[in-house]
Each structure stands twice: as structure tokens, then as C-alpha cells.
Amino acid sequence: MLSIERHHQSVEDLPYELVERKGVGHPDTMCDAIAERMSRFYSQYCLSRFGGVAHHWFDKVTLYGGGADIDYGRGELTAPYRVKVFGKCAFRVGSVEIPVRDLMFRAASEVLSEVTTGFDPARHLVVELGVVDHQGSGRGVSRYQPASPADLVRPYAAGLVSNDTNLLHGYAPLSRLETAVLGLENLINGPDFKRRHPDTG
């Protein structure tokens, strides 16, 4: 179902406007990016190995910040970041194992390496899996325990349906304040600023 409504009053004419921008270093943004990359790596592995994608979802990711010993001019991580991921996926197709833990670790490593300073995944990251392959009620063939590659979803297969519900909204154009906030976030998280000010993380 699609619904489009037009509002003629501009946000610029309202008494006040509040804008929140969660940049690349915000925990919510990092968790979303990690979940998306986990799904991408999992799907790419399944496609390359089996020719289809096993049903999966990694939409509950929690990031626990590491402990640090800091003082003026120095800082050392004393406890690693912990990424916990919850969801469902197939751990194997027939008897062939999918390296789920390795794929999840690689995804979290890449994202955290991109948005943090001095991050060493081998020392600074622990990934904990709360992912299961349990059978849902009413399923004739398990989505998460495929017996063979024939049970997987093929790219562009006919008759695909979503097993979830999404509610989305969008609007345009950005207000002057939104444009300013977005521009500021892009500036301070941009490569030029980071090169000049590596201490900003």
C-alpha cells in the first residue's frame, strides 16, 4: 500500500525546528552499518558457494564500547569492543557449513575500522552470536535448515514475497537547518578534516 500526502505548509514557516543527525560514529549508525554488511557478506558467500541465498536476518545488533585508560596525550584500549548480533540464519546447506562467525566478524571489523581511529580488530573486537536456525511454526520446509542448494532463494526468482512489514516515509526538499546540519556532519566526518585532526576519531 502506498500513500502520498502533500502538506503545503513549509517547515520554514513553523515556530521552531529541531534536527537530529546521527553521523557515522554514532552507535545506532554503526550497528545499522554492521547489520547491513553482515547480510551482504552472508548473501555473497551463499551466492558464490551455492548459487542462491539462504534465508537470514541480522537486524538486532548491539555495540558495547571498550574500556580505555586515557590521559593527556595518550590513550590505550583496556577492554575490547563487543558486538552482539541476534537473528536467524542457516549455519549450513545440507552438510556444507557456512562460516557464519567469520562473516560476522569480518563485517564488524570493516565497519569499526572505517569509523574509529587506531582500531585493531584482532585486539579490539569480540563478536558474540545470538543467531539461531530454529524452524518457524507452519513451515513445511525449514528456511533456516536447507537440505540442499535447491532450497535456497535464487536471484530474480519469480514469486518472491517479503516475510516482514516495513513502514517508510520520506520528504523533500531539506530545510535550511537540515542542509546546514548535514553539511556540518559531512565536513567533520570527511577525509580532509580527519587528516588535519586525527584526534577527533
Question: 66 and 31 share a domain?
Answer: yes
Q: Which residues, in sequence order, are CB contacts of 30 under 8 Å at separation 6+?
A: 24, 63, 111, 112, 115
Which residues of the chain, if any, have pLDDT below 50?
A: none
Region of residue 138 (phi > 0: left; psi between -120 and 50: alpha; otherwise: beta): left
Q: What is the pLDDT of residue 8?
A: 65
Q: What is the pLDDT of residue 192?
A: 92
Separation CA 18–CA 29 (nearest Å): 19
Domain holding 199, by residue range, is 168-201
Question: 43 and 92 share a domain?
Answer: yes
What is the model's pTM? 0.82
Question: 181 and 129 share a domain?
Answer: no
In the chain, the number of structural domains is 2
Question: 58 and 144 share a domain?
Answer: yes
Q: What is the pLDDT of residue 50?
A: 96
Question: 116 and 26 share a domain?
Answer: yes
Give pLDDT tens digits for 106-127. Answer: 999 999 998 887 889 999 999 9
Q: How many CA atoms lie within 13 A of 65 on its CB side?
A: 7
Question: 119 and 200 share a domain?
Answer: no
Separation CA 105–CA 174 (nearest Å): 36
Alpha-carbon torsion, ordered 88, 126, 110, 117, to 10 deg? 150
Residue 6 lies in a domain: no
Q: What is the pLDDT of residue 68?
A: 87
Helix, strand, coil abundance in the chain, percent, nearest 5: 35, 20, 45
Q: What is the pLDDT of residue 32?
A: 95
Q: What is the pLDDT of residue 91?
A: 97
Residue 160 lies in a domain: no
List the CATH number of the domain containing 139.
Answer: 3.30.300.10
Residue 162 lies in a domain: no
Residue 113 lies in a domain: yes
Q: How many CA atoms lie within 13 A of 159 on its CB side?
A: 1
Question: 183 and 112 share a domain?
Answer: no
Residue 183 lies in a domain: yes
